[in-house]
Amino acid sequence: METAVVLGGGIMGLSAAWALSRAGLAVRIVEQDEVPNPRGASVDDHRLIRHAYGAQAGYMRMVDPAYAAWDLLFAEAGERPYVQTGVLALSQHAGGWLAESRDALAADGRAAEPLDAASVTAAYPFLRPDGIAEAFRLQPGGVLLARRIVAMLARLLAARGVVIERARATGFDPDRATLTLADGSTRAGDLLVLAAGPWNPRFIPGLAARVRPTRQVLVRLAPPPDLAEAWARAPMLLDLAVDGGFYAVPPVAGTPLKIGDHRFAPTTDPDGPREVTEAEAEEILGLARHRIRDLERYRVLGAAACWYDVEPNERFILERAGSRAFVMSGFSGHGFKFGPVLGLALARAARDPALAGALAAWAAGEAPPAEGLLDDIREHAA
């Protein structure tokens, strides 16, 4: 039996391990922390999935296969940690991401319902109408319960015989498909997958020039009791401004209301401080005060920092790294939704060299999937 070693136990590493195991490989995951990893980019209450993607039509079209891959994974796991919410997108200026999303959706035959400021606040009275230049509502889209999904994947992989080893890697040899661990021992396979998130640039020379680690802050809130039910039924909120804006995730399935920053923070050390200062939390709250009515009535439950690996144009890097390895990187905050479909595509490309060349352009949102790349999904649908 062929073997694979995967470095990283976040959504990408776990998804790759799942897909490679389904393809018949014996898989070992090496992860420096426990799984779910509280320091990992994947381990939070929520991640969002939606078709609205600005002018990035390639990723917009990747969302349908992503849903199909989640359906396959959920069917195998016997649970469905996902809540459909829909999308509410607001913009404080004409044009830009919202208009690009609306045009791309329309060109692809997807209906986005236009709204004005009065319609927004009539439907969602906890929001202020001030400064809304454009808005739309989109029914598809929802919340992936990220922390639960990572734990679910870990259980599914254990049932499939995948080994998850807690160890810190210090070296990566893509041509020999070998990891060197901190104790000097090695782990080798027929295939090696680097999926270490913001730690990726430490292992491949040159990757640091293409992706950078950033530290993003989010704040968790409890709405006032009289607004709790309205927020629980609310769509995900994208409030866009020239300087970035914020996003809000409704409190679904027992999770808190969450708000975060659309902007990417400066480059930082992924082993840096995890604690969020009061000033950092207040900065995030400040982004939302113009939009969320009476925000001072909301109880702050806490704040957290999350590390991402960011490519300048938010293009995913999924490509060969040497003769016997692949690298999965650059997923920013929007990669989680594509974890299973990217894992399935990688497993196909690992078995078929003809597909490996087409993998990178598709993952970067620049080309349609090559014939055969998504056959696992088609076979499940059939």
Instruction: Kindly list the averaged pLDDT for each block of 10 residues, start to end, along the chain of length 382.
Output: 94 97 97 80 86 95 97 97 98 91 94 95 96 94 96 97 96 94 97 95 91 92 97 96 88 96 81 88 95 97 91 94 94 94 97 92 96 88 68
Residues 6 or more apart whose CB falls under 8 angstroms from that of 28 comprise 3, 4, 5, 6, 162, 163, 164, 165, 187, 189
Task: Say if CB 77 and CB 157 are below 8 A apart.
Answer: no
What CATH class does 3-64+146-211+313-381 carry?
alpha beta
Residues of the chain with CATH 3.30.9.10: 87-139+212-310
Smallest Cα–Cα separation from 304: which of 39, 61, 124, 80?
A: 39
C-alpha distances in Å from residue 329, one per residue of 318, 335, 379: 7, 9, 27
CA count, 13 A, side-chain hemisphere, 240:
21
Task: Say if CB 63 and CB 114 are below 8 A apart.
Answer: no
C-alpha distances in Å from residue 250, one per residue of 59, 233, 255, 304: 24, 8, 8, 17
Strand partners, 326: 193, 320
What single-letter amino acid sits at 350? A
Strand partners, 188: 178
pLDDT of residue 90: 96
Residues of the chain with CATH 3.50.50.60: 3-64+146-211+313-381
Neighbouring CB atoms inside 10 A of 266's CB total 7
pLDDT of residue 128: 96
Gap between the terminal Cα atoms of the chain: 28
In the block, residue with structure tokens 């690009």: 100
What single-letter amino acid sits at 375? D
Q: Can you read off the two tokens belonging to residue 346?
A: 């990688």
Smallest Cα–Cα separation from 164: which of 5, 40, 16?
A: 5
Report if pTM > 0.85: yes
Strand partners, 325: 192
What is the DSSP secondary-structure string of 257-270? EEEEESSPPPB--T
Would you state the torsion angle of the CA atoms of residues 259, 263, 269, 273, taken in this order, to the nearest 10 degrees? -30
Rounded-to-integer distance, Cα 196 and Cα 208, Å = 13
Q: Which CATH number fits domain 87-139+212-310: 3.30.9.10, 2.160.10.10, 1.10.150.530, 3.40.50.1820?
A: 3.30.9.10
Q: Can you read off the two tokens belonging to residue 343?
A: 């894992």
290-293 LR contacts (CB < 8 Å, sep 24+)? 290/128, 290/130, 290/131, 291/90, 291/127, 291/128, 291/130, 291/237, 291/239, 291/246, 292/126, 292/127, 292/128, 292/248, 292/259, 293/125, 293/126, 293/127, 293/128
Q: Alpha-carbon Rg of the chain, whole angstroms?
A: 21
Q: DSSP assignment, residue 190?
A: S
